[in-house]
Amino acid sequence: GDSVTQMEGPVTLSEEAFLTINCTYTATGYPSLFWYVQYPGEGLQLLLKATKADDKGSNKGFEATYRKETTSFHLEKGSVQVSDSAVYFCALIDTDKLIFGTGTRLQVFP
């Protein structure tokens, strides 16, 4: 079945460092891909999405490009802030169900 694999965390960075969180997927069809963010004690918020190959999703300085050839959707940000500390979930939806990765915790220190 469809699945999403994310890099293990936590990812620990200093403020203004470059961020990459890796995400790869397995799907039989042509899924849409998402990144969600969860701040402590809260629900999930949609961060960005891409619906077809070579699409780039972007929001709040975060970017991810849908790479069909490598089945990847890596999350990047050029300069992280302390306020970016959260858990980030990569997810895909093929027909009707959203399938999540296990999440990657990001900790940013001043």
Partner 1 sequence: DGGITQSPKYLFRKEGQNVTLSCEQNLNHDAMYWYRQDPGQGLRLIYYSQIVNDFQKGDIAEGYSVSREKKESFPLTVTSAQKNPTAFYLCASSIDPNGPYEQYFGPGTRLTVT
- Among positions 20-39, residues that touch partner 1 (CB under 8 A) are 31-32, 34, 36
Question: What torsion do the CA atoms of 85, 81, 67, 25 make, to the nearest 10 degrees?
Answer: -10
Nearer to partner 1, 57 or 80 (CB): 57
User: What's the first-to-final CA gap in the chain, in angstroms?
Assistant: 41
Note whether 40 binds partner 1 by CB under 8 A. Answer: no
Q: With CB under 8 A as the contact rule, which of the stretches 19-27, 62-70, 78-86, 91-99 interacts with partner 1?
A: 91-99
CB 103 within 8 A of CB 11: no
Sign of CA dihedral 50, 53, 56, 62: positive
Residue 2 or 17: the one with the smaller Cβ distance to partner 1 is: 2
Residue from 102, 106, 108, 110 in contact with partner 1 (CB under 8 A): 102
Least gap, CB of 15 to partner 1 (angstroms):
25
How many angstroms separate the CA atoms of 20 and 35, rounded?
A: 13
Q: Quick check: bond before 10 cis, omega within 30?
A: yes
Please give the residue ranges that form the binding site for partner 1 (CB under 8 A): 31-32, 34, 36, 41-46, 49, 51, 89, 93-98, 100-103
